[in-house]
Structure 1
Amino acid sequence: MDATPDSGEGIGAPPPHEAYANAPDLRREMHQVLALGAERDGRQAGPGTGPLVDAAAAERAWLLRRAALMDRMALDDPAPGPVAAAAETAGQLVLHDRRHPGLAAGPHHPDAITLAPSHRLYVRQEYAAWTAAGRPDLNRPRSDKEKDA
């Protein structure tokens, strides 16, 4: 069966409109991903009262959200720059999931999705599974600022 790189047909990855159906709007998600990145890098204190319960899961949540954001931006603007950024961030998620296979939520391992030139289909699969599970990697309360962003 032929599958186009963006459709997810033939491998079980949901198409973008399904994978990102419950995603925040791009502006809000960009703000939240940047805030999570600043917390991760120590440039900003997080709103939690203590350390995260699972650092690998928190790192994965950030990688997943960032890769999904870049994928969505590349879908809106399929120019070489956004497409390359989406492929790069998807690859970073794949590397993390290879090191922590128990954190992957979808039915396909990252190396199983080889039809596309990047791992963007894997990002869609994982984002859909993550949101369907109620975003379980966010094991700290969000501040009012994050909720309103």
Structure 2
Amino acid sequence: MFEIRIICDPDDTNRVTTALSGAFATGAVRTYPTRDGERTRLYVTADHRPEPGPWPTPEEAYALAPSMVREIGWTAQTAADKPFGESLGREYWLRKAALLDRIALRDEEDGLSSDAAEVATEAARRLIAYDRDGEGDYHGAPYWPEHPATDADPRGYVRQEYAHWAENH
């Protein structure tokens, strides 16, 4: 455990504390004005985040998933039922990304050459962007949307989030 002291403009306080909490496991932020009163001093107790474990396997992630045909129907119906311009929501993006991941896995398993893996990766990136923008209520354990491993394996992030969602839905 260690302590971090930062001196910054008051307008940057939220941005700085958000970045710190993304990089470290942080405690409460203590805020004080500087002697000249023009800047802010931030004191944060922090620790390194524990090393994350491996991504869930597809079998673990999709153990409770409905059939792919049923998921195709659900995603199509959900998209069709939403009024134009209204957000589809995180559940839609998560289930769509998981469905496309499962299709890509099936193609790989069957030895088929297709663009399914690329499409699944793009859908995973859409979910990650949704979660990074603060719109999603992601689980984030052990990998949160901003984690470097998430960028390296977007489909792993989908499996992590889907496994959590399926267990708690």
Q: TM-score, normalised by structure 2?
A: 0.59
CA contact (8 A) 1:68 1:127 kept: yes
Q: 1:91 aligns to what? A: 125
CA contact (8 A) 1:110 1:119 kept: no
User: Relative contact order, CA 8 A, sep 6+: which one is greater?
Assistant: 1
User: Structure 1: how far apart are the matches of 2:68 and 2:148?
Assistant: 26
Q: Give the drift of 1:106.
A: 3.3
Q: Give the drift of 1:105.
A: 1.3
User: Structure 2: how far apart are the matches of 1:125 and 1:63?
Assistant: 14
Between the aligned residues of both structures, percent identity stands at 36
Q: 1:120 aligns to what? A: 155
Q: Give the drift of 1:113.
A: 5.0
Q: 1:77 aligns to what? A: 107
Q: Give the drift of 1:92.
A: 0.3
Alignment partner of 1:24 is 2:66: yes
Which segments of structure 1 move beyond 3 Å, counting only runs of 4 or more? Answer: 115-118
CA contact (8 A) 2:100 2:119 kept: yes
User: Structure 2: how far apart are the matches of 1:118 and 1:82?
Assistant: 15
CA contact (8 A) 1:11 1:113 kept: no
Which of structures 1 and 2 has the bigger CA Rg?
2
User: Structure 1: how far apart are the matches of 2:93 and 2:151?
Assistant: 19
CA contact (8 A) 1:113 1:119 kept: no
Alignment partner of 1:12 is 2:61: no
RMSD, matched Cα: 2.5
Cα–Cα, structure 1 residues 41 and 123, in superposed 2: closer, same or farther, change >3 Å? farther
Unaligned residue ranges in structure 2 (runs of 5+): 1-51
Q: How many residues align?
A: 113
User: Structure 1: how far apart are the matches of 2:105 and 2:136?
Assistant: 29
Alignment partner of 1:131 is 2:161: no
User: Structure 1: how far apart are the matches of 2:136 and 2:74?
Assistant: 25
Unaligned residue ranges in structure 1 (runs of 5+): 1-9, 43-54, 135-149
Cα–Cα, structure 1 residues 115 and 60, in superposed 2: closer, same or farther, change >3 Å? closer
- The 3-state SS of whatever aligns with 2:146 is helix
Amino acid at match of 1:29: E
User: Structure 2: how far apart are the matches of 1:102 and 1:76?
Assistant: 28
